Amino acid sequence: MSVQPQETVKPETASRQGSSGTDHAASSRKVLIGLIALLLLLGYAFQGSRSLWSTDEGRYSGNAAQMLDSGNYLMPAFSPDRINITKPPMTTWVIAGSMDLFGRNAWAVRAPYALAFVLTGLLLFAMGGRLVPDAPWLPSLIYACSLVPFMGANVVSTDVLLTLFEALAALGFVRSHFGPRTATGRNGLWLMWLGFGLAFLTKGPPGLLPLLGMAPFVLRRDGWPGLGRLFTPTGLLLFLVAGFSWYAIVVMRTPGLLHYYLHYEVYDRLFTGAQGRHSQWYGWIVVYLPVLSLGTLPWWPAMGRGIRKAVHAACWRQWWGQATAPLFLLLWFAIPLVVFCLSRSRLPMYLLPLFLPLSLMLALDLRSRVDLTRNRQRLALAAWILVLLTLKAVAAYAVHPKVDNLKRAQELEQTTGGASYDALVFILDKTSHTAVEESTPWGMRIYTHRPVYGIAWHAQDRAARVCKELDREANSLFLIAPRIDPAQVATIMDRCPGHVTRTVVGAWRHQTLVLVRH
């Protein structure tokens, strides 16, 4: 047996290799620091400058205020007498925690969304290390500078947090199925199921939509054994603990809640137009086409190239045959998009999580085209960032729609002349409690520092609700909708137990204002 001499490395060669490695590490740190700085700038700039607009921003901020005031952190609620069971509590928890730290203001309400935007960008950076290793920062840059993710981070909704947790789940999947097969594969699956659990606690079943892309990819690449390994028992246990514990508790405590979730929040959203959210056959065109077209600015050339590839059967056969990253990203994007289009409940922000695979697909196309060492590209990027910040500033300082809750509160204060009252009670020209939840300006609670109630005038229990509010709040301002006769409301009040005095203090936005003392 002959022994081969070991290769010797000259000192100057080793020095050059060590220097190269040090330079690469320093360069990577610079890139990461620059990326974090950009994400923080785009996420937090003007984040508290725009006041809270209804419906969603008012609803979730009002829920958080009620949670803090009541000390009931289990069940989100609009007011002391009306729980909010339309969504799981993650969004309300996050906002309540921020308001508890930073006060009851628009910045505190939106600060978690800027943080979610930053963390989502960093998770994309981590995914880029596996899927786009020669430019891992590029998916984050594309996501951060795309119009929909950027503007979405300034809007209070469930979708920004949902996108963060789906990104966490996707990172776990990428770590377990791409790159070196090490012990991190199993840990990646645990991370994936934890992410899906948090996503489920944020928005329910829509949080699992990425699985519809992951499962066929794994089946194509690794067969049925690979699909079985995807559903690891430890991972499923993590998912059940993180995602289902709250559901189990509230369903046991609230009769009829399980039927509500399955019927109204799942079946009606998918198969009926009960919620009135663009349920027409063409609704997906009206809602989603603008999101995908305007929302992908300024990456239109890469989108065009991707669409041209996607319409060719040969490309599909190639992607399906290779079963590599492009196939996974295409399935992750396309299958949930089809589900959103077929669903009868459609809103623009529903597509926000799809900008995760879209950013990674665009990065695969642009990795050889984007070179930020070129002055021309750096100037173009800086100009676009300035455009984005300007749009955010204009929305904050120049746009004041009727649903602006600060504007509402200021107008009401001027109309009432600073009259003393402890609560706002809106008598609405509605027939159902669901309509009341959509129409009541719950966000006024943040600016008036008073609880807000909503009563459907045409509901069967209207009298009981009026008396209940009088009993709970001894000094209230009733705001009666234009087509409701204040005399009829007064008749109901007179039938309630106890003595009631009423004083009409004016009109606000065509609503009669009545100060009621009980």
Which tokens go with 441?
């300006």
d(CA 286, CA 282): 7
456, 432 Cβ separation under 8 angstroms: yes
Spell out, as residue ranges, where the chain has pLDDT lower than 50. 1-11, 13-14, 17
Find where tokens 């602006």 sit: 404
d(CA 248, CA 448): 35
Backbone φ, ψ for residue 248 (5° rounding): -60, -40
Interior angle at CA 170, CA 164 and CA 171, nearest 5:
90
Cβ-Cβ contacts under 8 Å for 161 (sequence gap 6 or more): 90, 91, 94, 112, 113, 116, 202
Exposed e or buried b for every residue in 419-431, given b needs 16+ CB within 10 A?
Answer: eebebbbbbbebe
Question: Considering only CA atoms, which of 300, 360, 299, 355 is closest in space to residue 328?
Answer: 360
The pLDDT value recorded for residue 21 is: 56
Helix axes 486-495, 462-472, angle to 10 degrees: 70
* CA distances from residue 441 to 10, 82, 351 in whole angstroms, order as listed: 74, 14, 26
pLDDT in tens, 483-518: 999 999 999 999 999 889 999 999 999 999 999 998
207, 200 Cβ separation under 8 angstroms: yes
The pLDDT value recorded for residue 23 is: 63
Find where tokens 């890469």 sit: 302
Question: Considering only CA atoms, which of 468, 439, 464 is closest in space to residue 454?
Answer: 439
Exposed e or buried b for every residue in 253-268, given b needs 16+ CB within 10 A?
Answer: eeeebeeebeebbeeb
Interior angle at CA 206, CA 205 and CA 210, nearest 5:
110
d(CA 217, CA 324): 9
Domain range 405-517, CATH class: alpha beta
pLDDT in tens, 183-192: 556 789 999 9
Which tokens go with 191?
């991370």
pTM assigned to the model: 0.92
What ranges do the domains of the chain cover? 23-52+85-394, 405-517
Which tokens go with 494?
């007179």
DSSP secondary structure string, 296-311? TTT-HHHHHHHHHHHT
d(CA 203, CA 198): 9
CA 201 to chain CA centroid, nearest Å: 12
SS3 content of the chain, % helix, strand, coil (to 5): 65, 10, 25
Per the document, the length of the chain is 518
